[in-house]
Amino acid sequence: MVFFIFDIVSDILNNEDSFSHIIVELLVFIAISLVLFRELQHVKLLKKEICIEKSKSARLAGELLQVMRQQFSIWNLTVSECEVALLLIKGLSMKEIATARQVKEKTVRGQATAIYAKANCAGRHELAAYFIEDLMSEIHSQVT
| pLDDT tens by residue, 52-81 | 887 777 666 678 888 889 999 999 999 999
> Over 90: is that where the pLDDT of 9 sits?
no
Lowest mean pLDDT, pick from 10-24, 44-58, 107-121: 10-24
The length of the chain, given as a count of residues: 144
Class of residue 57 by CB neighbours under 10 A (exposed 0-12, middle 13-18, buried 19+): exposed
Question: Residues with Cβ < 8 Å from 54, sequence gap 6 or more?
Answer: none
What predicted TM-score, i.e. pTM, was given to this entire model?
Answer: 0.57
Structural domain spans, the chain: 1-55, 62-144
CB 124 within 8 A of CB 135: no
Q: Rounded to an integer, what distance in angstroms lies between the CA atom of residue 15 and that of residue 127?
A: 78
* Lowest pLDDT segment from 45-54, 90-99, 102-111: 45-54
Q: What pLDDT band is residue 143 in, cutting at 50, 70 and 90?
A: low
Task: For Cα atoms 100, 101, 104, give the angle at the middle one, nearest 5 degrees.
Answer: 105
Instruction: Note the pLDDT of residue 34.
Output: 93
**High-pLDDT (> 70) share of the chain, %:** 90
> Is the domain defined by 62-144 classed in CATH 3.40.50.2300?
yes
| pLDDT for 134 | 64
CA–CA gap between residue 144 and residue 140 (Å, rounded): 6
Mean pLDDT confidence for 95-123: 95
- Reported as a single tens digit per residue, the pLDDT across 26-51 is 888 899 899 999 999 999 999 998 88
Which band of pLDDT confidence, cut at 50, 70 and 90, is reported for residue 21? confident
Give residue 114's pLDDT band: very low, low, confident or very high (50, 70, 90).
very high
